[in-house]
Amino acid sequence: MSGPSASGDSAESETAALANEPSIYLDLAPAFTIDFMVEGRQRYVQLNMSVKSKNAAQIDAVTLHMPLIRNSLVLLFSSQSFDELQTAEGKVALKAAALDAINGILEQETGQGGIDAVLFTNFVMQ
């Protein structure tokens, strides 16, 4: 029987093959700078981030769709609470939301996600 399980086996073997590949990192430069108004004072967050994947095609897709991804991330970052971003939990939640946003765009544009992690390489709040 080669029906639906054959395509499932193919996807599983591709995933298994990728598991043996080295991770690839892509810096999402330039840094994101977001301004917040907190109790009448202007505050800023500057955030450098990279993405990690074992799938070179999806790293290329991130580069191709970078304007759409950056737009989505700017909107995401701008919607955050400055106070929550000062906590470890807030940063972890933001990383998860950024990963979901990036993979959502890749699924929409390429039919698959493929980004394994979002890494904050610099996070400055003032």
Cα distance between residue 117 and residue 50, in whole Å: 8
pLDDT for res 21: 85
User: What is the number of domains present in the chain?
Assistant: 1
Per the domain annotation, does 18 fall within a domain? Answer: no
Per the domain annotation, does 2 fall within a domain? Answer: no
Per the domain annotation, does 47 fall within a domain? Answer: yes
State pLDDT tens for residues 71-104: 999 999 999 999 999 999 999 999 999 999 999 9
Q: What is the pTM of this model?
A: 0.83
Sign of CA dihedral 49, 126, 72, 96: positive
Residue 9 has pLDDT above 60, yes or no: no
Per the structure, the complete domain to which residue 37 belongs is given by 24-125
In which residue are the tokens 């946003």 written?
101
Per the domain annotation, does 80 fall within a domain? Answer: yes
- Biggest CA pair distance of the chain: 67
State pLDDT tens for residues 39-83: 999 999 999 999 999 999 999 999 999 999 999 999 999 999 999
Per the domain annotation, does 52 fall within a domain? Answer: yes
pLDDT for res 3: 44
